[in-house]
């Protein structure tokens, strides 16, 4: 079981990284962020940040013991957040280039700094968790709930943009084809490690919304391809 869990965690981590590669490649290749919703990416960053802090507090005792095996659920979540952050930075970089809104550059660094500051605060809180366990468990649950709320609406702007424009633009179909089933594996992995529902409910919400986006993208891809042939 130990070896299986390690291999499963490695698979999830590699899958989480590779799931974003097609989108990164497509943006960089075409130098375009057409039809990609900035609001969705921004909400996704906030939601994943809160989820990472939630998992960190619940697993703080394993940080103290340097128990890497028990920290695998946290590591998978933290890497997912890192990929979302990279996604946002790449998006902003090419949006600034396209629209010449240079003031957004300052916002990008400010946003990164705020995230870093909140992570440091979470680490400081986690250090004192053993002295007031109930408070920090409640705090972690609130972060998890907030993450769930954020992720409950994270893809709504993207769904709206797709329906409004009736085409996929520069959104990567392959990214959603990889990430949608990947969420199912993430959910099972978190449950396997007895993570609280406030941690893995986010993946359930993302699974539903990503499934809708994937369905829309396949529909518009087939529809537009049909018109091109005609």
Give the rounded percent of residues in the chain with a pLDDT score beyond 70: 80
pLDDT band (50, 70, 90) for residue 130: low
The two structure tokens encoding residue 33: 């962020």
Percent of the chain's residues with pLDDT above 90: 18
- Give me the pLDDT at residue 217, please: 93
Residues 6+ apart with CB under 8 A from 84: 20, 41, 44, 45, 48
| Range 73-101 burial, b when 16+ CB lie within 10 A, else e | bbebbbbbbebbbebbebbbbbbbeeeee
Q: Give the pLDDT band (50/70/90) at residue 116.
A: low
Question: Is pLDDT at 171 greater than 80 in this prediction?
Answer: yes
* Greatest alpha-carbon span in the chain: 70
pLDDT tens-place string over residues 10-27: 888 888 888 899 999 999
Q: What is the structure's pLDDT at 218?
A: 93
Nearest Cα residue to 202 out of 92, 110, 73: 73
Task: Return the minimum-mean-pLDDT range out of 83-87, 99-103, 139-143, 202-206.
Answer: 99-103
What is the overall mean pLDDT for the chain?
A: 79
Higher pLDDT, 161 or 112: 161
Dump pLDDT digits (tens) for 176-208: 998 888 888 888 888 888 877 867 787 888 889
What pTM did the predictor assign? 0.80
25-52: per-residue pLDDT in tens?
999 999 888 889 988 888 888 888 888 8
- Are 147 and 43 within 8 A, CB to CB? no
Q: Residues, the chain, total?
A: 230
CA-to-CA separations, 17 to 7, 37, 181, 213, in angstroms, rounded = 15, 20, 14, 20
Task: Output the pLDDT for position 103.
Answer: 57
Query: Does the pLDDT of residue 123 top 50, yes or no?
Result: yes
Per-residue model confidence as pLDDT tens digits over 135-148: 677 777 777 777 77
């Amino acid at each position: 079981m130990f070896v299986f869990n390690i291999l499963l965690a490695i698979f999830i981590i590699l899958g989480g990284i590779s799931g974003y590669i097609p989108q990164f490649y497509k943006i960089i290749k075409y130098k375009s962020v057409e039809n990609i919703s900035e609001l969705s990416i921004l909400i996704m960053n906030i939601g994943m940040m809160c989820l990472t802090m939630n998992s960190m507090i619940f697993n703080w005792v394993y940080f103290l013991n340097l128990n890497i095996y028990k920290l695998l659920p946290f590591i998978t979540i933290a890497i997912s957040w890192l990929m979302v952050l990279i996604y946002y930075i790449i998006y902003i970089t090419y949006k600034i280039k396209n629209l010449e809104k240079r003031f957004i550059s300052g916002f990008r660094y400010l946003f990164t700094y705020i995230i870093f500051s909140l992570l440091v605060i979470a680490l400081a809180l986690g250090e004192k968790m053993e002295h007031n366990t109930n408070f920090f468990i409640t705090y972690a649950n609130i972060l998890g709930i907030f993450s769930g709320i954020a992720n409950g609406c994270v893809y709504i702007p993207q769904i709206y943009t797709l329906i409004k424009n009736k085409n996929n633009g520069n959104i990567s179909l392959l990214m959603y084809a990889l990430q949608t089933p990947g969420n199912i594996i993430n959910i099972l992995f978190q449950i396997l490690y007895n993570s609280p529902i406030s941690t893995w409910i986010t993946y359930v919400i993302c699974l539903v919304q990503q499934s809708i986006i994937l369905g829309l993208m396949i529909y518009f891809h087939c529809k537009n391809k049909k018109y091109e042939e005609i």
